[in-house]
Structure 1
Amino acid sequence: MSKRVSFQHSRRPSLSRVRGAVVAAGLGTSMVLGAGAAFAAGVAGAPHTADLISNGAAGSVAAQAAAQGKAAQAAKVERAAAEKAAAKKAAAWRIPVGHYALSASFGNDGSRWAHKHSGQDFAVPVGTKVEAAHGGTVVKAGPNGGGDGPAYGNAVVIRHGNGTYSQYAHLSKIDVRIGQTVETGQRIALSGNTGNSSGPHLHFEIRTTPNYGSAINPVSFLSKQGVTV
């Protein structure tokens, strides 16, 4: 009897082996399911192709807008600088000729004048370019001193915004007309030796009116404007 019982026990599967198989099978299933879940999670978290295209387009538009903004700002700064330079030029005074030698000065006595000399003479060759010492409007232009008398020869008088007038005399050629607006440094004539002149030069005056007799010292005036003669 004891032998039969022993035989029957030997044919039954071991409970520990069954349990091991079940555990192993469970672990395998878990690993498979875990890998699938991880893959699914990775796919779910990845950016969509449409999103990538959309984000790229938005970045391109933003970059273009930023570049346009910088260009507009640069243009604004450049425009402001140009306006400032133009205003500075309009406010400036200058000597009416380039290369010169100073000759008769304001207030000098001399046999060529009935009264003291009314301006500053710049000795230059005939045909030297004469430029407006300051922007303004031409009020006299022509022979006979533009109306101030034959001693000045061909002459031009310009009215300026600050209430002063500049006069240019003994010219060989006049390039402006009465009523014309001129800018600082603009060519208005060529120097000469016309009128009461002992040699080629430009006679330059600063006046308080357009007419002879109202001249002030032009060198002192220009000095106050920051121009050294």
Structure 2
Amino acid sequence: MSKRVTSRKSLTSLVRTRAVVLAAGLGASVVLGAGVATAAETGVSSAPVSTANAVQTQAAAQAKAAAAKKAAATKTAVAKKAAAKKKAASWVDPVAKYSLSASFNQAGGMWAHKHSGQDFAVPTGTNVVATHAGTVVKAGPNGAGDGPAYGNAVVIKHPNGKYSQYAHLSRVDVRVGQTVSTGQHIALSGNTGNSSGPHLHFEIRTTPNYGSAVNPVAFLNSLGVKV
């Protein structure tokens, strides 16, 4: 009798133990399965989100770079326009490298009256440029109409009503009626006319003709051109 009871108890205990183990196994499986499912779900959803974020970040960076490039291009264009405008409004020396020789109002036997301009001592063939934008009103030999003493000459009318004259030229490269810009090549220096040596005779006038000259150095200095 006691053996049967023991056997039954043992059997019941064994059954209970197996049930607990089985339940525990099933629970672990459920938990593990849920974890795997969650991991799988996270993997599927997170990958597209990360890619989308990367694409958006790249697009934003490209847009920012494009905007910066456009701003830089605009700034450069504005700067070039301002520089061109400043150049158009400015005055320059008629020759780049020179030594000053005979000055305005200087007395001497070379002139019937006092010297009417400023002489820039330069070698024959030196590039001569328009000191300011304007229109050519005189060009050619015989002082372009002002007399043989000037040799080959050019006279340019400027928007402010003043005229610039360039004389003793070896070659004239502009024609009457031609529009020129500030610093544009107009001729080559020389030793033509009543000249003691190669140089450029330069005048600023109030009319296109001889006899209306003003001090060209003082005039250029007043406009910021240091002669």
Using the size of structure 2 for normalisation, the TM-score is 0.86
- List per-residue Cα deviations over 1:159-207 (Å, max 9, x = no partner): 2223222110111210001121222222111112222223322110112
- List per-residue Cα deviations over 1:90-147 (Å, max 9, x = no partner): 2332221233222211111222323222110112222222111122221111122222
Q: How far apart, CA to CA, are the structure 2 residues paired with 1:150 and 1:47?
A: 97
Out of 16, 23, 35, the position equivalent to 2:20 is: 23
- Corresponding pairs, count: 225
State the partner residue of 1:44.
41
State the partner residue of 2:172.
174
Out of 52, 63, 66, the position equivalent to 2:64 is: 66
Query: Runs of 5+ in structure 2 lacking a partner?
Result: none
Q: How far apart, CA to CA, are the structure 2 residues paired with 1:160 and 1:13?
A: 127
Q: Once structures 1 and 2 are overlaid, which stretch shifts more, 41-50 or 54-63? A: 54-63
Out of 122, 135, 141, the position equivalent to 1:143 is: 141
Q: How far apart, CA to CA, are the structure 2 residues paired with 1:8 and 1:125?
A: 139
State the partner residue of 1:10.
6
State the partner residue of 2:32.
35
Amino acid at match of 1:155: A
Q: RMSD across aligned C-alpha pairs, in angstroms?
A: 2.4
1:84 aligns to what SS in structure 2?
helix
Amino acid at match of 2:34: A
- Percentage identity across aligned positions? 59
Q: How far apart, CA to CA, are the structure 1 residues paired with 2:129 and 2:62?
A: 48
Amino acid at match of 1:72: K
Residue 114 of structure 1 pairs with residue 112 of structure 2: yes
Query: Runs of 5+ in structure 1 lacking a partner?
Result: none
